[in-house]
Structure formats: C-alpha cells, structure tokens
Structure 1
Amino acid sequence: MSTEQTSLAIQIESANLKSTYNDHALKFIKHRIILAWIVRECIAEFSDYDIEFIMNHCFANEPLLKTIAVDQDTLDADSMINGSNTVDISAKEGSVIFDIVFDLILPNKVAGEAINEAVDEAINEAVDEAINEAVDEAINKATGDAVNEAVGDTSDEVDIEPVHFTVNIEIQKDENPGYPLVCRAIYYLARLISRQKGTAFVKDHYEKLHKVYSIWICTDTAKKRRNTIIDYSMDRHTLYGPEIKDDLNCDKMSAIFISLLQEENKSDNKIIRLLSVIFSKDIDPIIKKQLIEEEFGIPMTKEMEKEMNKMVDTWSE
C-alpha cells in the first residue's frame, strides 16, 4: 500500500516539474470568469444567465487542475467528494488525468424563481378568464386551482433541490493523437459518471446521478472543422411504438468540441472568438489584453497577464 502511495506521489511531482504551454494555458483558463464564459456559451442549462451570476452563484467549488489524486478503490467515500479531484487513479483501471474538473449547480433560488414565474403567469391567465366571465367566485377558484396545479404550494418561495453538474475542460493541441478524440472524451465522461457512486449517490439511487460535460478546446484543427462547436450527447430514439416525450433522464453526458480559428478573422460565435484570441500565437499579448478587456469585458489581472505571456514563451512546446 505504501509503495502505491509513493508511486502516486512521484507521478504527481514529476508532472509538475516541467512547466509547459498546456500548464500555463490551464492556469489562464481556470479563472472563473473565463470558465463562466465557456459554461454559458456551451452548456444549455446556463445559457440564460449572465456571466456575473454564473461566477457568483453557480460554482459549487474551486476549479482544480492536475493536482489531487483519488484512489477509486478506497473505502473512504469522504475522500472522493464531487469535483475535489482532478486525477482519477484506480489500481484496477490505471490512471486518467483531467485537465480541469469542477462542479456547477443551478441553485434553489434559480429553480424557485422559474417556477414562481410560471405560477404568476398561470394565476394571471386564470384571473383573466374569470374576469371575462364576470364571476367573482370563479376568480377565486381559478386562481387557487392555477397555483395548486403549478406547484401544489401557495408559498412565495418554492424549495427545489439544486441541479448538479460536473464539468471537465480539456485543452487539445494535437487533433490526431493516434485515436479518435471523441472516443477519449466518451471515456472521460464514463469516468466522471462512475466516480459519482459513493458521493453523488449510494446503493441503487441512480436517479441522483449528476449530468457530466467534457468540453474540449481544440486549438489546432483541420480547416473544415475550424470555427465549429460540436456536441456529442446521449439521446433517445424510439425504435418501435409511439414516441414518449416525458423521459428526460437519458441526457446525462455530453462531449463538446470547440474548434478554434487559426486566422485573425472574427468568428460570429462569442466563445470561439474569445478562445481564438486567447490561444492565438499571432496576436501580440498587448493586443490580446485589449481585445479581452474591451470586447468581452474581462478584466485582466496581473496573474492572468503573467500566464498569457508564459503561453507565448512556451508556444512551441
């Protein structure tokens, strides 16, 4: 057992000895404001929220990168808290190193407000119908029915359990590493799903599974794939019988590939444009800073400038 721990410690220490382009890129990307942009533009559940709200209310923990190892075979479930590990080590399955892993939530307040708005709308519609009939009794009855049917609760605040997500972000320079990247992304998603047992759920409570996303930022791709965002998701297809539209539980994993522009041409897509500026080897760092701050409203801290300059210095690695 001690030998395994020593070996693991050596792996982590060795990985941190050499500072590479990928390391500096990850340190830049892991800032919440950059991640919030990626989340809003790529994850449908967050597309209606502004960047500031996502930054302040939707991160369940600090984004971590390549720093903490967790043995999947351990009996101590407390050591495998969701989002707390970026290196997923198993004595049986080998090791998988995630670039960045973090957890997101749609808080109670968000879900409650959405339902409260639906309730208000239902009440207004019911009241309007009752007024048209000019029957006061119908107004009261219709209003009560609308509320009861909408949420079964007449309180101002509706208590809804937060919706949880786990997000993995990868930076990929090599488009052809010797295997299809989509297959690797699927494996990462499977890892993110399986590691939830003992943390997100116990025993057979599979209904508590969190949806997982693996988002790949592809910095150097074939021309035909540039300026694209492709989503590979699990979906349902009815092979026989009537279509059933109330089963939404199959949508638990999604791999998203963002292929950047190599040229300085502007993309009409905001996140492609932002990431293309960040990862461009042709744009001067001073111009990059100006574009990021003025076009996207992202204040560049000294730490962010430092990592961006190091990205330029290590570009050829």
Structure 2
Amino acid sequence: LSGIIPVGVLLCLKTWMRRAISIETTIAKSLRLSDAMEAYDAACKKLLAEKRILAWIMKNCIREYQKLEIEDIAENYIEGKPQIAEVPVLPDETNAPRIHGIGTEDTSLYEGTVTYDVRFFAILPGSGEGVHLILNIEAQNDFYPGYPLIKRGIYYCCRMISAQYGTEFTDSHYEKIKKVYSIWICVNPPQNRQNTITGYSIAEKNVIGGAHEEMEHYDLLAAVMVCLGKTDELPQNGVLKLLGTLFSSNMSYRQKQQILQEDFDIQMTETLERKVILVCNLSKGLVEKGIEQGITRGILASLKNLMSNMGWTAEQSMAALNVPKTEWEGYLSMME
C-alpha cells in the first residue's frame, strides 16, 4: 500500500483513521448513555403505572381523593389499565365521538405532538353520573430544562382539555368537559424545592361585587409539582418517601422491598418486583455512566486550562495529567 500511496498521505490517513475510531468510541459512549437513559425512563413509566402507586399519588396530590383509602382508590376509582405512551389520539382527523380509548399521545395538525408518560381515567368520588377525571403523570429529572416546568404542566392540562372535543363532547356541549390533572414527579429538583408538593389551579376571585359560580364550572384543570428529596427526612408513610424510595439510586432492591411492605403495605407481586429491580439496575448503571462521562469532561477541562494558562501543547498537558497514551487520540479528537 505504501508503494501506491505516498508515505505522507498514508501517515495522514492513519492519523485520521485513529481519530475517527476515537470519535466513534466517544459517540458510542454517548449513545450508550442515551440508550440507558431512555430505558430508565421507560422503566419509570411502567412503575408509575402500577395502580397501588397511582393510588398513593392520587390520595396525596388530588383533593377529591384525600378522604379515601389507598386500597379503595386502587380497586374502585382507577378505571381500566393505565396506558403508557402506547395509543395515539388524533383530534384533527375526525369529529366522530370517541368516548373510550384515551391515548397517551395527543397529536394536533397545528400544535405538534405531545407524549404523556402515563395517562388514564379515574372515576370522580361522589359522582352519580360516572364523571371522570383525566390524569397525566410525568416523571422529570431536569427541573430547569430551559423553561419553567410548571408552564409545561399547565400546557399539558390545556391540551388534555382541548383533546376532549370529539372524545368527551361534541358541538357546543361544553358542560361535558372533564377535569384534568397533570402531575409531575421531579426526581432531582433544586434544594429549595425538595420534599414539596405544590398545586396550581383555577380559582374564583371577585373583582367587583360578590357573584359566585358553581366550582365545578371552572375547576377544570390543576398542575401538581411533586419534588422529591432525601427520604430519611420524611414521615414513614408519606407519598414523598414512597416515590423517593422507588427512584433512589442508593438503595438496594431488598431495602426498597422492606420499606414498601412495612411502611406502605405494598406487597411485591412478581410483576411489581420485576419493575422495581429493573429501575434499581438501570439507575445504578446511569450513575456509573454519568461518573465516567463526568471524569472525561473534567480531564478535558483541565487539559484546556493547562494549554491556555501554561502555553503547553496538548501532549505536554496530557503527560502532566498522567493520561494514558492509549487515550491521547481520543482527547485530541474531542479538542478539535
């Protein structure tokens, strides 16, 4: 090959191939982390869709269920099987009534696609007409994703209300609009939001005079932010401790099993056991991958600082930091 291709070109080609392999390795690591995060997110959705877990969330976050027992909510008020990002609903395609078969993906030709983590019907306590609440549960790791998270929660509520046209009511029968809830489980909130549950809803306020409307006519949406924190600072049987235990990356499965059974009377069925173990394993894998990426970013930042402040070459900087020579090409490719 060297007799056909000039030596200089061959050396450049070999250098380029080594760097391409290094770049590919870096991209592969990022993709593995992305795949792990996606798998973890899917596992969390399935865990949240367990009726006993949903019942705890509903009792602690939704006014209408606060006086009911957990078992009663799980058995009698959650209708059907919660759907987990499975069935699309296309409100722009048809005006035909579709009272049942609510989907987790709400698509509009004009507004784009919104995917809900867990979405289901719940029967409203005390209603003799079978009125339903429509609940949406979202698990969120990033409390500040570039916008106020509560605005997204309210937007989801609005989308769930507008999507009822053609499914819950037609024409001008707005009296049939059902109340919606968007509940956000925030796993890594900032310190000032940890161990808090905060609700945002529509309220009547008299500006002039004392007129009053029936509450059911305007109490149509509520967004609830559930922000987790350290579980050792919480009461034994609160929903914050329940969710904090489920999503903890520091607890073993056995520890979680003991807390679920003793503090929350949640017995481990075979299905629930598989879901909890999967979340445990995936969360630990994410921590390990996150640490690995954090170390890489730290070394890269140190190299750039040495090159900038000391005037050293990349090679001199890597030697000073004792970076193995087998990893030099990878760091060189990341600095380009």
TM > 0.5: yes
Task: Give runs of ≥4 in structure 1 deviating > 3 Å.
Answer: 16-19, 80-83, 245-248
CA offsets 1:74-116 (integer angstroms, 9 cap, x no match): 21635x4456200112222210000010011136xx44xxxxx
2:175 equivalent to 1:207: yes
> Which one has the largest radius of gyration?
2
Equivalent of residue 54 in structure 2, options 17, 32, 35 = 35
Identity %: 35
Equivalent of residue 66 in structure 1, options 75, 85, 92 = 85
The CA deviation at 1:19 is 5.2
Corresponding residue for 1:157?
Answer: none
Corresponding residue for 2:114?
Answer: 96
Corresponding residue for 1:133?
Answer: none
SS at match of 1:221: coil
CA offsets 1:246-292 (integer angstroms, 9 cap, x no match): 45411100000011113532247711111111111112211101100
Equivalent of residue 180 in structure 1, options 124, 129, 148 = 148
Instruction: Write the distance in 2 (CA, Å) between the matches of 1:52 and 1:271.
Output: 15
User: Which amino acid is the alignment partner of residue 196 of structure 1?
Assistant: Q
Per the alignment, do residues 237 and 93 of structure 1 end up closer, same or farther by CA in structure 2, a change over 3 Å counting?
Answer: same
Per the alignment, do residues 279 and 198 of structure 1 end up closer, same or farther by CA in structure 2, a change over 3 Å counting?
Answer: same
Q: Cα RMSD over matched residues? A: 2.3
User: Which amino acid is the alignment partner of residue 20 of structure 1?
Assistant: A
Matches within 5 A, 1:104-123: 104-106=122-124, 110-111=126-127
**Aligned residues, how many?**
252
The CA deviation at 1:61 is 2.3
SS at match of 1:63: strand
Name whichever structure is richer in helix by fraction: 2
What TM-score do you get using the length of structure 1 for normalisation? 0.74
The CA deviation at 1:37 is 1.1
User: Which amino acid is the alignment partner of residue 102 of structure 1?
Assistant: F
Instruction: Write the distance in 2 (CA, Å) between the matches of 1:30 and 1:276.
Output: 16
Instruction: Write the distance in 2 (CA, Å) between the matches of 1:82 and 1:18.
Output: 32
Unaligned runs of 5+ in 1: 1-15, 112-159
Instruction: Write the distance in 1 (CA, Å) between the matches of 2:89 and 2:183.
Output: 22
Corresponding residue for 1:162?
Answer: 130
Instruction: Write the distance in 2 (CA, Å) between the matches of 1:247 and 1:310.
Output: 43
Corresponding residue for 2:43?
Answer: 24
CA offsets 1:9-34 (integer angstroms, 9 cap, x no match): xxxxxxx9985111111111101111
Matches within 5 A, 1:1-317: 20-75=39-94, 77-78=96-97, 80-82=98-100, 84-106=102-124, 110-111=126-127, 160-244=128-212, 246-262=214-230, 264-267=232-235, 270-315=238-283, 316=286
Unaligned runs of 5+ in 2: 1-34, 290-336
User: Which amino acid is the alignment partner of residue 35 of structure 1?
Assistant: L
What TM-score do you get using the length of structure 2 for normalisation? 0.70
The CA deviation at 1:71 is 1.5
